[in-house]
Amino acid sequence: MSAVEDREREIMLELVRVTETASLLAARCMGMGDTELVDEAAVDGMRGMLSLVNINGTVVIGEGEKDRAPMLYNGERVGTCLTKDEVDIAVDPVEGTRLVANGLPNAISVIVVAGRQSLMPVPTFYMRKLAVGPQARDYIDINAPTRENLRVVAAAMGKKVKDLTVVILNRPRHEELIREVREAGARIKLIQDGDVSAAISTALPDTGVDLLMGIGGAPEAVLSAAALKCLGGEIQTQMWVRDADDEARAMAAGFERLSQVFCSEDLAKGNNIVFCATGITDGDMLKGVRFHGQRAETDSIVMRARTGTVRRIRTTHDLSKKTLRSFKAGQEMPL
């Protein structure tokens, strides 16, 4: 077994602890209506726990540029940095800060660890997305008409189009897409935020989700691709720009042909990928954090692309004994 494989196996539970910490702290802020409070709590906890993980990592998809993000900024070195092999890190401490702030479902905390230069660094704007599970992965075409994609996915899954459930972000920009899906006869599940969990749900059993369609964040597309690589699903994407400023940024980042299609392998290369997520609020993929007096329960998923292993981890935390690492405080803190 190679050193890389050994490291992946060793850090899987450590990564669960990272997302658990972010989720526990974010969940304490649920329903308070303050997105900044939610994000600040989760970022501090995730960064604090990452400093204890035995990796030599560089954040390639994080909270933004250094001058705008005090922690988990793009380019920040994380981990103990005691190991020789360097890795890429992609994080979203809270995927769905508004969901948590308003007590809505499908908020998760996410981290991806991958081989160096495996994760595509994308500008922080938007992409068109089409995501499906393993049964339909070889049949989709993001440039094909909506009706045609629905038809081929239904055929690949042994369903009728009217039995499909399509997840779409509830945004004005999707009015035409929603009309097309309705005219084709498929069912629609509109979500307010959280298209990473929605994309992943297409490749998991018992979620009731068959496709993700529409325009969402570009960094979230990379996180989704990493997970779908582990699950055998597929995501196809294209850059989507709102205005001349977006187009200039895309060009400056090297995306000169906006019509180019990027699939999972483009966004998250190779098999040296570990994906981990913990639920913050209840969703299709993961249950949210539960507090019971001196106990808390978390629901997590951790996956490896190399082996296709998918582990579900339900954890009970004794809050009378448990502490969480705060990066700002530089010490362990009670929850």
Measured distance CA(54)–CA(78) in Å, rounded: 9
Q: Which residues have CB under 8 Å from 307's CB, separation 6+? A: none
Please state, rounded to an integer, the average pLDDT across all residues of the chain. 93
Q: Residue type at 142?
A: I
* pTM for the full predicted model: 0.94
**Tens-digit pLDDT profile for residues 276-322:** 999 999 998 999 999 999 999 999 999 999 999 999 999 999 999 99
**Tens-digit pLDDT profile for residues 197-247:** 999 999 999 999 999 999 999 999 999 999 999 999 999 999 998 888 888
**Tens-digit pLDDT profile for residues 155-200:** 999 999 999 999 999 999 999 999 999 999 999 999 999 999 999 9
CATH number of 126-267, picked from 3.30.2130.10, 3.40.190.90, 3.40.50.300, 3.40.640.10: 3.40.190.90
- Judged against a pLDDT cut of 50, whether residue 61 lies above it is answered with yes
Which segments of 214-310 does DSSP mark as H helices, in order? 218-231, 244-252, 264-267
Residue linked to tokens 């490291």: 7
The kind and range of the H/E element at 4 are helix 3-27
Q: What is the mean pLDDT of residues 327-331?
A: 84
- Judged against a pLDDT cut of 70, whether residue 67 lies above it is answered with no
For the purposes of burial, counting CB atoms within 10 Å of the CB of 101, is it exposed (0-12), middle (13-18) or buried (19 or more)?
buried
Q: Which residues have CB under 8 Å from 63's CB, separation 6+? A: 43, 69, 71, 72, 73, 74, 91, 93
CATH 3.40.190.90 in the chain, residue ranges: 126-267
Q: Which CATH architecture has domain 3-116+272-334?
A: 2-Layer Sandwich (3.30)
CATH 3.30.540.10 in the chain, residue ranges: 3-116+272-334
Q: Percentage of the chain surpassing pLDDT 90?
A: 80
Supply the DSSP symbol for 271: S
